[in-house]
Structure 1
């Protein structure tokens, strides 16, 4: 290899790379990204979110590692692929290969010179990008990012570029250079990186559900080339605090460094293999000995004989007729089929097709199958949810694939040199273009077919849900295929106008990027949403509601637009060379007008449909006009009515008529309002919905003209309402809900639709609400800071967080079509049908704080005082949900307070929204929660969500939490705690531990260290408050329960419910603590626990070191040190284990009762042999036979306890009568901690 020739190739290629438009476009993009990111809009989500709080810097090494690893996978991949993949292909297209290979230049010099030039170009760009970030962050800083900017440190920019970008660039350039050299097809160069980026973004980047095996997660970290997954899983996923992120350096472990070296070697190795392949290809195919001998014989025979034969042939062939040739004009469809058949043959021979289809199917199945619902629980796959769940992936990937295939198809004749001949044939341009489009559409149809088969296989493997073809025909046939048609026509029209491959690619990709940005900004509606991105909702109750009419108009609009694009393509398709002299003639106003007029049959339908659809969007309840009316409500009333005293509900009487087919309702009813203030009440207000029509009011039975202040209706009272008095407000009106369809797809929380009805008293969906709603009409882009409460805000009477001040009776009369069942809170008094209309009357048997109405076409599962109303086909989880509902009613009644209502119902509603609400006696579940939850061996998901929501009958109904910090934790945290208890009681330790681990992991992944406040200060206003409320709240209640002991804890909880049930003082955490302390066996330990876990922010994190195992006389001694890298002072169980703790498939084994987790002697040691017995439990499988258990390897354990504080280490020694395999911290899940999977030492 000659260094001179190598450098000559390198220099020539480098000059080309740095002068081509691609280089400068990418450099401009990097500069724009550096400038845009200098605003602080994209940064590590850590720090204090309050005004003036410490924020995470955008100038730290962690921040730059975060940014550069993302940009490396997102942008560098594509531009490197184009530059490297086309390096040799470009020379082939320019026909310079023959000249180059006639010189002394060797293949290795040629290949390595080109590759190194491409690599050097992008390594230089990476260095420039680091400097650009430094320039925009420090030299010309953005004034709005002052809180996010730290001091300048050059290594903060260079180290991330070296450790994240360099390995990515070496690997990507090597892969795509080898791909281009091997196949020599531009389509692979453009399409493979796009598909790789999609898989990277949606799968490799951050896909990590709580149930994912840690070994798989680590494997994904190793094979992800940008390094972002490793960075996220190691440093970012569990918030380490803003101080570390702002001032620390990224610590690279040995595994990461080895994998980066492996990526570099892989990239260079592929280039070396490309050198060998290029050398063989340059020499041409080596002839066989047989062919050589035959050629020699032909040469020996001489040329004279061949010449004479040729002359004789010319003499014999005197006319075309002798060939049997006939000249005739073929029809349109024969021409179309000929073109399509030829294109299909060409497509089938392309290797890329067999790479793209598996990737697309993998991505689609991943998006459709690996969906999760409430509490990160996996969902069952149904035909409808799978078809809708794969729409976005199929749209993006198939459209990009069509972009590349169609453009290369249109260029095929030109690249092969056959364009002058083909374009001179009498084949119509429409047949020519449509034939190509038809052949390329076969690719999309094939992908849909195989994706359908993959989904069907998954459903068959699940063995629960039957495969239905109908949903696929509706979603893919009627909604997705028009997207492919309009996109194909757009690509052909674009190429016909611009006549350039790269410009067409740029426009096509640009369209996706622009619409992605507009979608992100919420600027897209039904008129502009050509690809239906994220707008389709599916429910087994009724397909595509509530936006069926919008979907129909949208698809008609874009089918009409397809016709327009086809007409444009036929008009401008370049069958002749462009006569530039006539360009000015063609763009003269008269010529343009004539052309537009001639094409009016194509653009007039587009314009008409667009106007109709746009008008409906403008009139919808989510339009800009509707938003302005909501803003008027807030602006007009906020200062006057925010803290104005209001009465509260003391009784409700409703007569509700429903017409689900028309989304219509009418209401006649009354509210009894009670005034409990200290001074007479001179006026009060009710908020009403914007869709209420012909509203009339009565006050104490007399007609009344109220003052409507932008839908806040004011009632002046003369004389004023005295304290302790009640006023009756009557109302009557009608309306539609929803009034029209949504602005841009999606679902809604409450609705009246042909598929079902869900209405609640929390909103103005069908009823007035008392007082001014401070959250209604708030500008989401200008949120206010959260209210600061005084420390003693809970002293005295505390208002409820939701619902009424005191429970009240409700009577509900519902009339509607007799195909529906109608449910409300309480018990059913009557149920009659007449002339197709059904009338049902419900009345509360015990007062309630809030209420709802729900209707559907259901079957019913009946338990012990419980009922599950479900879609007749949704029978998959009835037994598991029913057992949870029965157990909840039984055990929650024993533990907390007797259930006061006669019935406990769960009603399934259409999955237009995904939530559950625990109204008294009348719980509502979306079909995607519980009914379509997919239980696994690791967790009983259907049991989980049912147990949690059932707990709200006690925590949120009987005990209505107070308004203020710590209030909602009394509802949601206690519901999680109750679920822990129910898992433990019904299924045993294994399931309870698994649930605890899941919510513990959720807390670790979603907490924000610097924004997290003590439990008593959490009000839901900060990032991370949700996981603190649910997950940490449930865990802390569980730990306190364990500290106090079950007996004392349950007595305290019963006292707490009795104290606050029906009270006008609503509790927060301080009230809970005060009640529980009265029942604490050890008040000192109780106070220490409460001070640490309720009034401070602590969470331990344990790691082992120096763990050894020694055998002495047949016994094993395990020694080591455990360190608390986190915070908090806890008593920790350390256990040596052999075997695996029996899982949910062995529910007959109870592991936690043999030994207390609160030992009196910290040095105590215990050995437990699971096979010696099991506690009695109520879950299924309790009768597992002794022979089945004996067939399994026993689970053996020995343990000790250590007291360990923040930053402390403790030595331990465990004596075992068995050979242990590992040591774990907290084997019974009794101590909340971070990174539990790391608190293990293998022996």
Structure 2
């Protein structure tokens, strides 16, 4: 006991004298404050009416911070024993009569208490975040001490016990700092593998137990909690949580017990010899662990006459040290396993997988390994920077006639080469997964384009920054922490309204690759932002080279005074500086001169201003209604532009004259002409919101008609800071009603009550009751039209097909455009779209019971043939079911049109259904595994909308979506039941039930009865379908 207490107190004294302890505490405190007091809190589950400091949010957000803060735990727990060997203090300890138990337990619990102090910044940060000056106080509930105590007792301390035991024992046995770091990476990779394997609805109970941090158990316990339960109830010690905590605390005890058994008072680390009976022969306290490569010479190769030769020899030497080390090999193997598991589950919908097309595989690598690449850069940059000093060989190495620049460049090159090799291994693994799954269109150049063209520039910038930070701070842990904080700033600063890529390190567009449209509009801004940040990173690297620690002088100012910029360095600095300034100026010109720079918060304020300025005056003012639309759309997909000429026929259906007309327009459109049939004078011209008014020379009398002729153009100018326009695409244009709408549009108002409160707006009224006569005059999808006559000419690129609702009247070529003229022979809803792409077409027909033929067409990307038969069968089945049970189909055709993967939905327009490539075209439905055939289901749902929306549509009153979405969802389920039988349909209903019950936990207003549903997707989709299905079971489908 005496040994324990002395070592325990010594550990506490040592740790609490270290500045790093308080810096780590401050980091956890700051992150917790930001989680709670900004929009980042949504990561922890605080959405809808769930309060920002609800017990549920405290638990989930806190546990996430523990998981990602494990790198800090590795620095405190993992080095408790390692530090003695690094400082050669182990000989003193081993020479004194202390017990192994006293030594290990004293070190462990001392480090554990310090780690607990550091992580106490999480609950303290949550508490301080609720009173932060910038926080929305109304989004928090009253202080609940139980929420914090429950989090600390059930999650914080047990989690630290597990990860602490893991890092402590691993560090004690290997005595290798890099091996400790690698253990942290493996922990996160293992967590990711477990989550991916157990993501299925049927595996939730297993997920509850196999999550070492307890999030799976929490998710299972509170999965179906309502908003009030999440706000008021403490996360209970349920069966799942109790079992999870007992399991992982037990594993922590087992780890410590095994480690205690294997630990020996020896100067050498544990070696698992392949030779039976082989003994652990020490090689001195300075020898790295066998879990790291043992250099053939601890010193790097001696200088040669050639600087280039020195560089390549050193880079090869450092690279071999990395890639032959067990940590890298184990991390690589674990990464391959994670990729395999993630690829199997990538893009699943209803537990149905997709074909492993290359864009999905490459995106899985990119999205799943970004964090691990950052961790590897952090660790290996630090290890290479400090390598010679850790091995006590720095004085010898610094005396060699090799320039500092070559040494640093070799270390940078070795780190980058490690990342290249890891990416190549992951590419090979991805190809292997494709082959095993029977997919052989590998598209290897696409792997390289995505991973090395769009991801690697960021990795390069981070690598150069890492060496710069280590050179400046000259403290390994501070360098690690600084790099991680810089990386996190890219997620945190935008929540504070700081969104410019000019100061978000390595900022740039989020690149989305589509099989249809390739890299689309993203490559140009990616190139310029990458050039900008690479220039900055090169400047940082040049500075790092000048202040690199060499010799005995380690102070930053002294190193700076000692440094000299030679002609080469000055030239490189000047070139990089010129590139940095030049690319920065060019990007600023694009984002702020050619385009408007607006933050998301700024856009929200603009919407609030529009409501304050125009709602009171214009919302109730009588407006004419559109009765006919004639459009002439000229698309320029090759340059991302379009022109729009159109004529609206407007009729005054009011009982009073209309003297003024308000228009709501896309503010990115340029007005080339705007003419009313009755001469009109422009009034309001708000170019920021697109709201405009015109005063007619004479009022439009009740029942009278006039016209509105307009000529609009979307002219692409450079690129924006974010939010690339994807609706006009080189291959896969999808425009929805691009023309002006008539009157003030309440649909553009802020709907979130929390945001409305922040903007000092009144509570937004919910939809009117079904008895409100004024609301009954409009449908819920628009207030400016009823039924319209529709006609459109669409002009596009010569190699593309353009489609709009209506029947093709003729096709011709004119002025280098391929032209299509469509016209409806009966009125339709004022709801239409224009699409254009290089389509292949699959054709068939369906004949109704009266003998009327209906042409069926699927316009698809030529490579996406996997599910065309399923979609065609879905169209036929839906047309048959709806025609036999509801009413005749009103059109002579039905078309599905694929569009790029920039969105994941299908949408039903008159006789036309745009359908994303990401939600059905690449689905891999295995009938032998009872997979849900969701391409068939989605098709049936959208075709059902030809009845439930395009024949019957709810007014702008409560319950409107029940008549469209609930009935379309129910109809699709009944159609699917006819094809797949009751068992598979029950599986789908389980998903719908799960969606509904989970949805209640993010409710923003209060759950409405189905008949009064108001823009609540979790009600009008799954609950509505379940209710109608249950009713059909009770009274019969025919009667329903």
With the shorter chain as reference, the TM-score category is 0.7 to 0.9
DSSP 3-state at the match of 2:645: strand
Q: Matched residues in 1 for 2:190 and 2:302: separation?
A: 52
Higher mean C-alpha deviation, range 176-185 or range 477-486: 477-486
Q: Distance in 2 between matches of 1:603 and 1:48?
A: 44
Give the Cα–Cα distance (whole angstroms) in 1 for the partners of residues 976 and 302 of structure 2.
Answer: 83
* 1:821 aligned onto 2:821: no
Q: Greater relative contact order: 1 or 2 (C-alpha under 8 angstroms, separation 6 or more)?
A: 2
Classify 1:368/1:705 alpha carbon distance in 2 versus 1 (closer, same or farther; 3 Å).
farther
Deviations 1:1027-1050 (A, max 9, x none): 11111111112222333322222x
Q: Return the match for 1:755 from 731, 742, 755.
A: 731
- Give the 3-state SS of the residue equivalent to 1:552 in structure 2: helix
1:535-562, Cα deviation, whole Å (9 max, x unpaired): 0111112211122211121222233334
Structure 2 CA distance, aligned partners of 1:651 and 1:623?
Answer: 37
- From the CA coordinates, give the structure whose radius of gyration is larger: 1
- 1:855 has 2:855 as partner: no
Going from structure 1 to structure 2, the CA distance change for 1:110 and 1:483 (only over 3 Å counts) comes to same
Map 1:123-522; keep pairs closer than 5 Å: 123=116, 145=137, 148-150=140-142, 156-193=147-184, 196-197=187-188, 200=191, 209=199, 212=200, 214=202, 216-234=203-221, 236-240=222-226, 242=228, 246-247=232-233, 250-253=236-239, 256-279=241-264, 281-282=266-267, 329-364=304-339, 370-372=345-347, 378-463=353-438, 466-521=441-496
Match of 1:609 in 2: 583
CA displacement at 1:233 relative to structure 2: 0.9
1:114 aligns with 2:107: yes
Q: Distance in 2 between matches of 1:973 and 1:581?
A: 67
Cα distance per residue 1:387-418 (max 9 Å; x no partner): 23432433331132022112211222222222
1-side partners of 2:469 and 2:974: how far apart?
A: 63
Aligned equivalents of 1:128, 1:656: Cα separation in 2: 58
Give 1:715 shift.
Answer: 3.4
1:782 aligns with 2:756: yes
Q: Distance in 1 between the 2:634 and 2:277 partners? A: 92
Deviation, 1:425, is 2.0
| Shift in alpha-carbon separation, 1:158–1:565, aligned structure 2, 3 A | closer
Partner of 1:537: helix, strand, or coil?
Answer: coil
Describe the superposition over 1:1043-1086 as per-residue Cα deviations: whole angstroms up to 9, x where unpaired: 3322222xxxxxxxxxxxxxxxxxxxxxxxxxxxxxxxxxxxxx
| 1:913-967 alpha-carbon deviations (Å, 9 max, x no partner) | 2222111012111211221234343311211211111211111211222112211
Alignment root-mean-square deviation, CA: 3.8
The answer (yes or no) to whether the contact 2:807–2:824 under 8 Å persists in 1 is yes
The range that moved more, 706-715 or 216-225, is 706-715
Query: CA, structure 1 residues 270+1048, in 2 after alignment: closer, same or farther (shift >3 Å)?
Result: closer
Compared CA separation, residues 607 and 364, structure 1 to 2 (3 A): farther
State the partner residue of 1:20: 18
Provide the secondary structure at the position in 1 that maps to 2:53.
Answer: coil
Aligned to 1:933: 923
Moved more, 950-959 or 872-881: 950-959
Contact 1:205–1:228 (Cα < 8 Å) also in 2: no
- C-alpha distance in 1, partners of 2:268/2:797? 81
How has the CA–CA distance of structure 1 residues 373 and 655 changed in structure 2, closer, same or farther, with 3 Å as cutoff? farther
- Report how many residues are paired: 987
Instruction: Say if 1:636 and 1:709, in contact at 8 Å, map to a contact too.
Output: no
Alignment partner, residue 840 of structure 1: 820
Distance change (3 Å), C-alpha of 1:592 and 1:226: same
1:687–1:768 CA contact under 8 A, matched in 2: yes
SS at match of 1:652: strand
Q: Distance in 2 between matches of 1:938 and 1:497?
A: 56
- Residues 496, 574 of structure 1: 8 Å contact kept: yes
Query: By how many angstroms is 1:670 displaced?
Result: 0.9
Q: Distance in 1 between matches of 2:269 and 2:331?
A: 29
Give 1:672-1071 correspondences, 5 Å limit. Answer: 672-700=649-677, 705-710=681-686, 711-736=690-715, 739-744=717-722, 748=726, 751-761=727-737, 765=738, 767-776=739-748, 781-782=755-756, 785-794=763-772, 797-803=776-782, 805-834=785-814, 836-849=816-829, 850-864=831-845, 865-936=855-926, 937-1008=930-1001, 1011-1020=1006-1015, 1025-1049=1016-1040
Quick check: 739-748 or 11-20, which moved more? 739-748
Give distance in 2, aligned partners of 1:130 and 1:847. Answer: 61
Taking a change above 3 Å as real, the CA distance of residues 426 and 125 of structure 1, as seen in their structure-2 partners, is closer
Alignment check: 8 A CA contact 2:45 2:57 kept: no
Report the 3-state secondary structure (helix = DSSP H, G, I; strand = E; otherwise coil) of the residue aligned with 1:863.
strand
SS in 2 for 1:493: helix
Q: How does 1:1135-1214 map to 2 (within 5 A)?
A: none
Change (3 A) 1:598 1:611: same
Tell me the CA shift for residue 129 of structure 1.
Answer: 6.8
Q: CA deviation at 1:586?
A: 3.5
Work out which of the residue numbers 9, 15, 22 in structure 1 matches 2:7.
Answer: 9
In 2, Cα distance between equivalents of 1:348 and 1:280: 30
**Are residues 708 and 150 of structure 1, via their aligned partners in 2, closer, same or farther at CA, if it must alter by over 3 Å?**
closer
Give matches, 1:41-56, under 5 Å.
Answer: 42=41
Q: Give secondary structure in 2 for the equivalent of 1:485.
A: helix
**Structure 1 unaligned regions, length at least 5:** 293-325, 1050-1243
Alpha-carbon distance in 2 for matches of 1:328, 1:129: 50
Alignment deviations for residues 636-659 of structure 1 (CA, whole Å, 9 cap, x no partner) = 433321222212211111222222
Shift of residue 44 of structure 1?
11
Question: What are the superposed Cα offsets for residues 356-407 of structure 1, whole Å, 9 maximum, x if unpaired?
Answer: 2234344455555534477786544321233234324333311320221122
Pick which of 92-101 and 393-402 moved more. 393-402
1:752-807 superposed Cα distances (whole Å, 9 cap, x missing partner): 2212221121xxx3x22222223447598436533145545355843111245432
Point out the more displaced range, 884-893 or 20-29: 20-29
Answer with 22-31 or 433-442: which moved more. 22-31
Report if the CA contact (8 A) 1:526-1:614 is conserved.
no
Find the aligned partners of 1:582 and 1:25 in 2 and give their Cα distance. Answer: 22
Deviations 1:442-483 (A, max 9, x none): 321222122212322333344357211121121112222222
Q: 2:552 aligns with which of 574, 577, 590?
A: 577
TM-score, normalization by structure 2: 0.87
Pick from 76, 79, 86: which aligns with 1:83?
76
- Give the C-alpha shift of residue 350 in structure 1: 2.1
Q: Is the 2:768–2:956 contact (alpha carbons within 8 Å) kept by the matching residues of 1?
A: no
Structure 2 residue runs of 5 or longer lacking an equivalent are 280-300, 846-854
Instruction: Report the CA distance shift for 1:513/1:244 in structure 2 as closer, same or farther (over 3 A).
Output: closer
Name the CA distance, whole Å, in 1 between partners of 2:428 and 2:242. 41
Q: Deviations over 1:295-340 (max 9, x none)?
A: xxxxxxxxxxxxxxxxxxxxxxxxxxxxxxx999521221112102
- Cα distance in 1 for partners of 2:376, 2:270 equals 33
Using the TM superposition, give the Cα deviation of residue 109 of structure 1 relative to its aligned residue in structure 2, in angstroms: 2.9
TM-superposed CA distance for 1:978, in Å, is 1.0
Residues 827 and 967 of structure 1: CA distance in aligned 2, closer, same or farther (over 3 Å): same
Rate the CA distance shift 1:272–1:377 in 2: closer, same or farther, 3 A: closer
Distance of aligned partners of 1:205 and 1:875 in 2 relative to their CA distance in 1, 3 Å threshold: closer
